[in-house]
Amino acid sequence: MQVTRLKCGGFILVVRFNHTMFDGFGYQQFINAWAEIARGVTKPSIAPVWGRELLMARDPPRITFNHREYEQIQDNFPSSNHNLIQRSFFFRTLDIAALRKLIPQHLQHCSTFDLITACLWRCRTKAMQIEADEDVRMMCIVNARGRFNPPLPDGYYGNAFAYLAAVTSAGKLCRNPFGYAVELINKVKGEMKEEYLQYVADLMVMKGRSLLFTTVRSCIVSYLARVNLRAVDFGWGKAMYGGVAQAGAGSFLGISYFCSAKNGKGEEGIIFSIFLPAEAMERFAKEFNHMLCNQNQPQSTL
């Protein structure tokens, strides 16, 4: 942990942790408990629960699901990790509304996560100029806490999520109406049930730790806006920003985090950073701005 005091009287709190200990919601629980104690309480309002046996593999373990998220993808693309640059992009409330106008009626129930993830996936695929017949996948980190019966205890702070992969070809993703991508994201989220996380635990026991591969054709998104770290109060009020300090490192071509933030005009919204090669970044920015401005795309029924 590191605290940097600023001349204006504010401060920056940075925490680095090992993700094997807890996930985003577990981290939020820890930070909230820390902030409560800093404000003078004697014990946190939510007591921590270890309970790792709640997510143990079956005996005997067995693989009963096709885990596309752990499949290795061989990119037929020159390595360009040495030329990666980072930029941040911001979704205003008006931008989310603009995206929602691009999808058919039967998808109007979809979440903000579905919309912005589909937008990133489509823009990124176009920007990377992936061949039309090549498979592309978007891995969504889906919280499983509310999907157990009985539910996990409130104080459980371990990892309780899985990476579910939406898979299609680059040609279908880019040529179909925007609703096609949204429907893929929405559908794969629905696969997150208690049984799916059980399958993942079994897979880990049988094959060891399975690595996730972020590549040109494979990327991951994590929706940290729901964790709402900006609401944490150490006694000085709410934070100006709460989220990752950097959206990965130079070797992470395909991972982005969505965090809540305000732009320079004071507008609330969602911000994300992305690493891409310089030329691809320019194409991504053009596609991104086009999607947010283009509200006249046909409302095709998929």
Q: What is the pLDDT of residues 195-217, one digit of tens each?
A: 888 888 898 888 887 776 667 88
CB-CB contact of 179 with 200 (8 Å): no
pLDDT class of 29 with cuts at 50, 70, 90: very high
Look up residue 30 and give its two tokens.
């820890």
Establish whether 233 is a catalytic residue: yes
pLDDT of residue 82: 55
Q: Omega before 60 cis (within 30°)?
A: yes
Query: What radius of gyration do the chain's Cα atoms show?
Result: 20
269 has a pLDDT exceeding 90 = yes
Among residues 67, 75, 135, 233, which one is catalytic? 233
Q: Which domains are seen in the chain, by residue range?
A: 2-293 (3.30.559.10)
pLDDT at residue 66 tops 50: yes
Q: pTM (2 decimals)?
A: 0.89
* Banded pLDDT at 302 (limits 50, 70, 90): very low
Give the whole-angstrom CA distance, residue 294 versus residue 290: 6
Q: Euclidean distance between the first and final Cα of the chain, in Å?
A: 49
Per residue in 69-80, is it b (16+ CB within 10 Å) or e — as a string? bbeebeeeeeee
Among residues 19, 106, 154, 290, the one annotated as catalytic is: 19
What average pLDDT does the structure give for the chain? Answer: 88
Nearest to 245 by CA among 17, 26, 32: 17
Identify the bridge partners of residue 219 per DSSP, sorted by sequence position: 138
- Work out the average pLDDT over 97-118: 96
Q: How far is CA 82 from CA 79, 130, 252, 282, in A?
A: 8, 19, 11, 17
Mean pLDDT of 22-41: 95
Which is it for strands 218-223 and 255-262: parallel, antiparallel or unpaired?
parallel
Alpha-carbon gap, residue 155 to 33, rounded angstroms = 11
pLDDT at 84: 85
For residues 31-59, average pLDDT: 94
Cα 45 off chain centre by: 28
Q: What is the pLDDT of residue 293?
A: 83
Higher pLDDT, 250 or 241: 241
